[in-house]
Amino acid sequence: MHLTTTTWPSPAKLNLFLYITGRRPNGYHELQTLFQFLDYGDTLTITPREDNVITLTPAVDGVKLEDNLIYRAADALRKQAGITAGADIQLHKVLPMGGGLGGGSSNAATTLVALNALWQTRFTADELAGLGLALGADVPVFVRGFSAFAEGVGELLQPAEPEEKWYLVVKPQVSIATVDVFTAPDLTRNTPKRPLSVLLDSQYENDCEKIVRRIYPEVDMALSWLLEYAPSRLTGTGACVFAEFSTQQAATATLNKLPDWLQGFVAKGMNQSPLVHALNEHAAESQ
């Protein structure tokens, strides 16, 4: 076991499109969505321990350590491997909570991938993704680390290579409850299923967007502002919205015009996660 301290990226993702294609008897929605990573996100600094203690700083207000996704990921990996090991984990958080950028799922995935390397538990990506699925539907995407077309309830993944554009991501000052979106009576639930090749050549849309714009005026205002400058839409069920640009300069120029009531950042779309790059670097250094 390597007891040195290392730092690992925990990137954001965007849903470049999101279509609701049906509803199962258990209430879960069938969907088709396209995940792409951003070169922007949280970071985890991890120091392995030889005892069975896992610490996480800073503490999250109102969330017990045992309920935190980072702790749960570390604990699940440790139990699956049948080992006595611990870690001191420090989270540097820049992604907004409840923004639809996958921050919590990404944190859990980075924990699994990093500790699998640091504890030398030698699970495959498939095995780690299986552990991750129990923590959240989006965790496997982050574990595998490639842009993916997702179907079913989000668990059926196939690699995809959308264009790697520049994005201006904006977070309105509102938190969105996903359940409110998926239970809305007027949510579109019958978008026809289409093969990925057709979807990649079609205009990207998000079936949740009209519901979110109706319930949350802050999101409606943000999208209305962004649409003046570039093609823009909601990611996931929100609250973040994003505009796409072909150059960093164009995205940054629009960021500099953001009104006071909006915060945002510019990032590059990546079809291979920064986490994969970090894992490869770690493997090379450890040889």
- Catalytic residue IDs: 13, 138
Q: How far apart are CA 159 and CA 154, in angstroms?
A: 13
Residue that has been written with the tokens 């951003």 in this structure:
38
Q: Could you tell me if 230 and 244 are in contact, meaning their C-beta atoms sit under 8 angstroms apart?
A: yes
CA distance readout (Å), 178 to 12, 106, 175, 182, 213: 18, 18, 10, 6, 13
Instruction: Yes or no: say if 132 and 73 are a contact pair by the CB < 8 Å rule.
Output: yes
DSSP state, 211?
H
Half-sphere exposure (Cβ direction) of 223: Cα atoms closer than 13 Å: 20
